[in-house]
Amino acid sequence: MRLALFGGTFDPIHLAHLRVAAEAADKFALDRVLFVTAANPPHKPAGSTTPYEHRHRMVEIACSCDPRFEPSRLEDREGRSYSYDTIARAQSELAPGDQLYFLIGADAFAEIGSWYKAEEVLRMVEFVVVSRPGYRYPIPKGARVHRLESLALQISSSEIRKRLDEGRASVDLPPGVLEYIKQNGLYR
Ligand code: ATP
Ligand code: MG
């Protein structure tokens, strides 16, 4: 089985996340992409994100578009969510012969040096790094990195939150996610 972890705040999950995952799954013959909703993102101030259950529910709705996509509660726990712990937990559940990748955008990978146990993280897994307009990144020594350069998607959750707050609907969301946002009065 070939699988990838795809972590994110997903506040909210949008069409670029899905496109990135599909492209990686196609190019790297992945059987499963696990969308790991970050419970307490270390790089965002506590309380600044939408509650976990809302973000994860939207991930569940979005993942129904592709049989390879799976919502994951690997980070559904107290305390900060560190990728080091998430990867270790995922690896402990692998079967012999499984190949695990860590799927990540260029902006996030550019910051990886500042992560908790960065050197260990870089050693423990192979990365698929997806291009994102305006972001470049160095490849740290010894890191195993596959560059996926075929996408240049301008979409971001921050931009979508801003638009929704201004009362404008966003076309960059899966219809079911936009529906969920409206029903629950999120982002306004
Ligand atoms: P925010 O603007 O709130 O930071 P975001 O759009 O960056 O939201 P995240 O949940 O922070 O979304 O990102 C999760 C993962 O998806 C990260 O690895 C990020 O780099 C990647 N990603 C998000 N949007 C894109 C995009 N347009 N192109 C490539 N990768 C992306
Ligand atoms: Mg981001």
Indicate the top mutation candidate among 10, 15, 18, 20 to test ligand 1's pocket, ranked by most ligand atoms within 8 A of CB.
20
Q: In what order do the strands lie in the sheet with 69-72?
A: 69-72, 32-37, 2-8, 99-105, 126-130, 145-148
Which tens digit of pLDDT belongs to each residue from 161-176? 999 999 998 889 999 9
According to DSSP, residue 112 is labeled G
CATH second-level architecture of 2-159?
A: 3-Layer(aba) Sandwich (3.40)
Give the distance (Å) from ligand 1 centre to CA of residue 156.
6
Alpha-carbon span 132 to 36, nearest angstrom: 20
Beta bridge partners of 103: 6, 128
- Residue 72 is predicted with a pLDDT of 98
**Summary count for the chain: helices (H), strands (E):** 7, 6
Please state the atom number of ligand 1 nearest to the C-alpha of residue 159. Answer: 2
Residue 154 has pLDDT above 90, yes or no: yes
CA 105 to centroid of ligand 1, rounded, Å: 6
pLDDT tens track for 40-91:
766 777 778 999 999 999 999 999 999 999 999 999 988 888 999 999 999 9
Spell out which residues line ligand 1, taking CB within 6 angstroms: 8-11, 16-17, 20, 104-105, 107-108, 130, 132, 153, 155-158
89's tokens: 């937990």
- CA angle, 27 as apex, 56 and 8 as ends, to 5°? 20
pLDDT in tens, 111-126: 999 999 999 999 999 9
Listed in sequence order, the DSSP H helices in 75-115 are 83-92, 106-110
Q: Which ligand is nearest to the CA of 159?
A: 1
pLDDT > 70 fraction of the chain, expressed in percent and rounded? 99
Ligand 1, atom nearest to 38 Cα: 10
Tokens 């921050």 appear where?
158
Contact 143, 122 (CB under 8 A): yes
Where do the structural domains in the chain lie, given as residue ranges?
A: 2-159
- How does strand 126-130 pair with strand 99-105? parallel
